Chain A
Amino acid sequence: MDSIIKVDNIGVSYQMTKDDENLKTYLRNFFKKKDKKVFWALRNVSFEIKKGEILGVVGANGSGKSTLLKVLGKIFEPDEGQITIDGTPSALLSLGTGFRRELSGYENILLNGVMLGFAKEVVAQNIQNIIDFSELGDFIHEPVKNYSSGMSARLGFSIAAFLHKEIMLIDEVLGVGDRSFKRKSQAKMKELIQDKSRTVIIVSHNLDSILEYATKVLWINKSKFMMLDKPEKVLEKYIKSQS
C-alpha cells in the first residue's frame, strides 16, 4: 500500500532575534550587516506512514515535536526537504483555542467548525452530537465567559471529537473534566484513534498512551532524527537515554 504521508529530509528553521523587532532595532541593523542567527527546530527528519497507521512521536521538551506537527498540519512549509500528504490533515486544537468569550457555546461550535475548515452544513450535522457529548445542556446557549474551565474543556474536546478529518494530528492524548467525563473522553479518543480508516500522529510525553496506541514510534532529539521502529524497541532505547 502506498504511503499516505511521506516526509523527506525536512528542516524547519526559526530566526533568533534577541529582542522584539521594532523600528529602532530595524534601523540600527539596516546599515550593519547583521549575522542572523538561525535556529533549526527540526532537521534531516524523514519517515513514511501508511493509511491506518498510528505514529507516536517522542522526544524531550524542545526537541521539535510540536514543530513537526505544525509542518504536517500545513501551518507552514518546511524550509528544507519535502512533505507529501495524500489527504487533509486536521489538528486537534488544544482545548478551547479560538473560543470567543462573548459568544455562546453554540456559536463557538459554529465558529470553531468553520475555522477548522469544515463547511457550515457539516458543522450543523454534527452540532447535536457535540452538544450531547459535552453534557452542557442548556448552558450551551450561555456565553463561554460564564463557563467553568472544566466546561470549556468539555466543549473543546467534544468539538474535536466530532469534527476531524482522515488524518489526525494529536498533541497529547488527554481526558478532560471530572472523573466520569474523563473516562468517557478517553474512551472516545481511543475509538477515534483506533478507527482503521484514520491515520493518526500522536505527540506525547505520556509513554503509556504511546505504547497503547502507536503502531510505530518516531524518536527525535534536539531537532534530529534518532530512531523509527516498533514502539517497544524505540521506547526501550528512549527510556534508557533519559535515565
Chain B
Amino acid sequence: MGLIPQEIKAVLKKKDLIKYLVLSDLKTNYKGKALGFLWMLLDPLFMMLVYVILVVFIFKRGGAQFPILLFSALISWRWFVQSTSNSLKTFKSNGNLIKSINVPLHVFPINTNTLGFTAFIASFTVLIPMLFIFDATINLNILWFPILVAIQLLFTIGFSFIFAVAGVYFSDLHNIMAFTFKLWFYFSPALYDLSAIPIKFRTIYLVINPFASLFESYKNVLVHGTPPNKFIILFLIEAIALTYIGPKWITKSRPYIVKKV
C-alpha cells in the first residue's frame, strides 16, 4: 500500500469534483458547436487526412497500410500533447479559484488528462473500422493494446503533473513547447517506420525517445499483429518514475504556485 503516494489517495477522495470539472469542460469545449461532440471524431480524422495527402500524394511515399500505421501513432500522440499542453496552463487558468479555496491542486492536471483520454478513446473508435478496411493483421497480440494504453496513461499523467508545476515556474514554457512538440513528433516514428533509422543508431534512438518504442509497439499490436517493441519496458519505468515524482512536486510547490498564479 505504501507504493501508492499519499497524494493519489487524497485525489481519489475528490472524485466528485473531478467528475464535475470534466463534465463542465466537455460541455464548454463541444456544446454550442454545430457538430458538437462529433468533433472528437472529426479532429483526428482531418489531421490524418492532412498527413496522408502530404506523404502519399505529395511525397509519393508510404505503403498500402500507411493510413492505419500513421493513425495508430497519431491518436496516441494527440492524446499526449493535448493532456500535457493543457496541463501546462491549468493552474494559471484556474488561478482565481486556486487563490480563493483550499482545493487539492492535483485535480486540475487530472481533469485535463481525463479530457485528453476521452478524446483518445473517441478517436480509437474511428481507428477500429479502418483497421478492417486496410486489412490489418489482427490476432492475440491485440491483447497488448490495453496494456500499452495503461502504460501511456501513467506516463502522460506523470508528465502532466510535472508540466503543470513547470508552467507556473516558467511562463514561457508554453511557447517553447509548441515548437518542441512538433519537433518531437517528427523525431518519432509516426510518419515513417522504425526501419528508416539506420541499424547502428536504432538502439540509442529507442533509448532517448520514449515515443519511438511506444509508436512502434502500437503499430505492431494493432496493424502487424506482432508483440510490442521490447524497449517499451524502459517507457514503463519512466512512466512509473514520473507518476511517483510528479504528485510530490505539486504538493511541495503548493505555496509557490498559490502565491504566483
Contacts and interface: CB of A to CB of B under 8 A. Distances in A.
A74 interface: yes
Contacts of B169: 21, 26
Contact of A70 (B20, B99, B171): B99
A75 B102 CA distance: 5
B27 A102 contact: yes
A97 B96 CA distance: 7
Given A14-B259, A76-B254, A76-B259, A117 B102 contact: yes
Contact of A119 (B16, B20, B97): B16
Contacts of B28: 100-103
A22 B259 contact: no
A91 B100 contact: yes
Interface stretch (A106-114, A133-141, A179-187, A190-198): A106-114
B176 A23 contact: yes
Interface residues of A, number: 33
Interface in B30-52: 31-32
B223 to A, nearest CB: 39
B138 interface: no
B102 A94 contact: no
Per DSSP, chain A at the interface is loop
Indicate the member of A20, A76, A91 with the most B CB atoms within 10 Å.
A76
Contacts of A48: none
Interface in B132-186: 169-173, 176
Given A97-B97, A103-B28, A73 B173 contact: no
B255 interface: yes
Interface string A146-170: 0000000000000000000000000
B207 interface: no
Contacts of B171: 20-22
Interface residues of B, number: 27
A110 B103 CA distance: 15
A120 to B, nearest CB: 5
B6 interface: no
Interface string A6-35: 000000001100001111101000000000
A207 interface: no
Nearest to A101: B28
Contact of B24 (A21, A73, A103): A103
A111 B101 contact: no
A211 to B, nearest CB: 27
Given A103-B24, A111-B24, 13 more contacts: A21-B170, A70-B258, A75-B98, A75-B102, A76-B258, A91-B101, A98-B100, A100-B24, A101-B28, A102-B28, A107-B24, A114-B16, A115-B101
18 contacts: A15-B259, A21-B169, A21-B170, A22-B172, A23-B176, A24-B172, A26-B169, A76-B259, A79-B255, A91-B102, A98-B97, A98-B100, A103-B27, A111-B20, A114-B17, A115-B20, A117-B102, A120-B20
